[in-house]
Amino acid sequence: MCANFAPATPQQLAAFPLPPPDFAYAEAFPGSTVPIVTNFAPRTWVPACFGLVPAWAKDDRIVRSTYNARTETLAEKPSFRDAWRRGQLCIVPAEALYEPCYESGRAVRWQIRRQDGRPMGLAGLWERAAQPDGRVAWSMTMLTVNADGHALFGRFHKPEDEKRAVVILPDSVWGTWLRARSVEEARALLKLVAPDGLAAVPAPRVGR
């Protein structure tokens, strides 16, 4: 599952008919701030925590286990079921994903991105909560599907682990995803992406 990604750059987001993000962000890990577009505020990029924070959570430490959500159990898991039932859908624009590959016998970080250089639109769920100072805190999770046997995503994570992949929405269904009016409509769009158009290369961390 994806715990590290590069959000789309402000320059990439300038191609969309939305005002550019007015907040800073960088390479993302659970707890990082990243831009998303939601069906609650579809005309603006909002700053969201990478890791969903449900209303009942006592603190933000829960993001360590809520940055990805399995599509098969969205309606059951306490962390995600309310956002899923309410149709709180979002898109996470990503320039690149990072996953560990063990084909060399040890974990090597690889980068996955689109060959055409455009950002990937990842399907997600959002939450928002009012803060004591009046600010609104957004959070999100990325949705994942089984990727066993997939030509690209099947290469990542430990050999004995189930293969998973985030849901990369085709450009043509971004609007359809945000306009989904039922869980049935939304679930119909949660599919494993074909490997065509994606590229993956080793991208070990500098100094490691």
CA distance 105 to 82: 41
pLDDT digits (tens, 9 = 90+) for 52-106: 999 999 888 999 999 999 999 999 999 999 999 999 999 999 999 999 999 999 9
Report the C-alpha gap between 141 and 135 in whole angstroms: 20
- Element at 172 (helix H, strand E): none
pLDDT for res 208: 46
DSSP H or E segment with residue 183: helix 183-187
Helix ranges restricted to H, 64-172: 81-85
